[in-house]
Amino acid sequence: MTDAHPGTAAFAFLKGHGTENDFVILPDPDGLLDLSAAQVARLCDRRAGIGGDGLLRVVRSTAHPEAAALADRAEWFMDYRNSDGSIAEMCGNGVRVFARYLQRAGLADAGDLAIATRAGVREVHLAKDGDDGTPGAVTVGMGRATLPGGEVTVTVGSRSWPALHVDMGNPHAVVFVDDLADAGDLFRAPLVTPFESYPAGTNVEFVVDRGPRHVAMRVHERGSGETRSCGTGACAVMVAAARRDGLDPADTGRPVTYTVDVPGGRLVITETVEGLIEMTGPAVIVAEGDFDPAFAAAGPVR
C-alpha cells in the first residue's frame, strides 16, 4: 500500500470493527492528510464509499497540534471523526480498533500501550492471541465517569423517560426502559431536554435488564445515528446501572463488573474502587487497500 497526501497518489486505508461498530482507518503517521468534514462523510458513506460509523486517523502525537502536549505519554494520537465528518472527543470501540491496527502494523506488541485522544490518554492492554490464532481481547482504561447532575428527560414520540447524564469524556443520556423497541427509530436523534444540559448534543442509550449485573442497550450516537455498538456508551450504561443498583465501588469498597450486550456483540465493563472504568471487548481488522484520493476530494454524495 502507498501512503500519500490526497491529490498526489492513492493512499492507504483499512476497515475494522469493535462489536460491529465499524471504522475507516487512515494511517497518516506524519499528519499529512487534511480531510474536510465533507471528505470524511464521503469515505464513511455506506453506498458510495468504504462505509463506517466513523473514521480513525492514525497520527504520531508529535505531528498533531491537539496531541503534542501528550507526546511524552503516548506516541500515537487517535484523530476520531463521526460519520458526518464532525469531530468527537472519544470513541471506546474506536480505541480498541486503533490499538489492533497498531499491533497489525507492527507498531505495538501484545501487552500495554498508551493512546492519545481528545479526551486525554487512554491506557490499553492487548491480550495475547489464542492458541487457535483467535485475536486476543482488548482492554481500554476509559478514565473516570462524571455525573454532572440535573434533571434530564429523553422523549421518543409521545413517551418520555428520566435520564441520567453521564460524561465519559463525551456526553451520554442513559434511559432505562421496559423494551428496547421503546427506543423507536434511532437513526433519528431522540429529543433530550433541557437543551442546555448538552449544548453540543449527546449520545443516548436505551437500556433493559437481562439478569444480575447484565444489561442490553441500543444507542443513538451523536453525529452517526444508531450504531451496532458504542464503547463509551456501554461504560456510561454500566455506571448508570451500578448507581441504580446501589453498587458504587467507592461505597462498597469492591470493584463492580457488568456485562453489556450491544446489537453487535458483548462488552465487559468494570469500575474499580478508585473510580476508573475498564472496558474489554474484541477488535477486528477486516480489510485493507488503497483509496483513490480523487474520490475523497469530490465531497459527499448527494
235 given a catalytic annotation: no
Question: Residue 55: what are its φ and ψ, rounded to 5°?
Answer: -130, 135
- The reply, when asked if residue 96 is annotated as ligand binding, is no
Q: What is the pLDDT of residues 46-99, one digit of tens each?
A: 998 999 999 999 999 999 999 999 999 999 999 999 999 999 889 999 999 999
Residue in the structure block whose three cell numbers are 491529490: 7
What gap in Å lies between CA 106 and CA 272, rounded to an integer?
Answer: 31
276 and 288 both lie in a single domain: no
Which of 90, 119, 217, 230 is catalytic? The answer is 230
194 and 238 both lie in a single domain: yes
Determine the structural domain holding residue 238 and report its residue range: 152-280
231 and 270 both lie in a single domain: yes
C-alpha cell, 123: 491506557
Q: Is 122 within the bounds of a domain?
A: yes
Element (H, E) at 260: strand 256-262
Residue in the structure block whose three cell numbers are 464521503: 42
Number of domains into which the chain is organized: 2
C-alpha cell, 75: 506516541
93 and 173 both lie in a single domain: no
Q: Report pLDDT for 121.
A: 95
Which of 91, 115, 237, 247 is catalytic? The answer is 91
C-alpha cell, 59: 497520527
b/e per residue 270-296 (b: at least 16 CB within 10 A): bbbeeebbbbbbbbebeebeebebebb
Q: Is 3 within the bounds of a domain?
A: no
56 and 106 both lie in a single domain: yes
Q: Give the C-alpha distances (Å, rounded to integers) separating 67 from 32, 174, 204.
A: 15, 30, 28
18 and 122 both lie in a single domain: yes
44 given a catalytic annotation: no
Q: What is the pLDDT of residues 252-302, one digit of tens each?
A: 999 999 999 999 999 999 999 999 999 999 999 999 999 877 776 665 544
111 and 196 both lie in a single domain: no
C-alpha cell, 239: 455506571
Mean pLDDT, range 197-224, rounded to an integer: 96
Strand ranges for 36-137 from DSSP E: 54-60, 76-82, 111-117, 120-126
Q: Which of 257, 281, 260, 250 has its CA nearest to residue 271?
A: 257
Is residue 293 within 8 A of residue 18, CB to CB? The reply is no
Q: Is 119 within the bounds of a domain?
A: yes
Mean pLDDT, range 221-245, rounded to an integer: 95
- The reply, when asked if residue 106 is annotated as ligand binding, is no
- The reply, when asked if residue 66 is annotated as ligand binding, is no
217 and 123 both lie in a single domain: no
Residue 5: pLDDT above 80?
no
Is residue 102 within 8 A of residue 140, CB to CB? The reply is no
Q: Report pLDDT for 299.
A: 56
- The reply, when asked if residue 157 is annotated as ligand binding, is no
175 and 224 both lie in a single domain: yes
- The reply, when asked if residue 92 is annotated as ligand binding, is yes
β-partners of residue 204 are 173, 220
What gap in Å lies between CA 192 and CA 207, rounded to an integer?
Answer: 16
Look up the CATH number of the domain holding residue 221: 3.10.310.10
Q: Specify the amino acid at residue 250.
A: A
Q: What is the pLDDT of residues 121-178, one digit of tens each?
A: 999 999 998 878 788 899 999 999 999 999 999 999 999 999 999 999 899 999 999 9
Given CA atoms 221, 219, 204, 58 in this order, what sign does their dihedral have? negative
- The reply, when asked if residue 21 is annotated as ligand binding, is yes
Q: Is 230 within the bounds of a domain?
A: yes
288 and 274 both lie in a single domain: no
Q: Give the C-alpha distances (Å, rounded to integers) separating 201 from 151, 170, 196, 224.
A: 16, 10, 9, 12
Entry pTM: 0.90
17 and 108 both lie in a single domain: yes
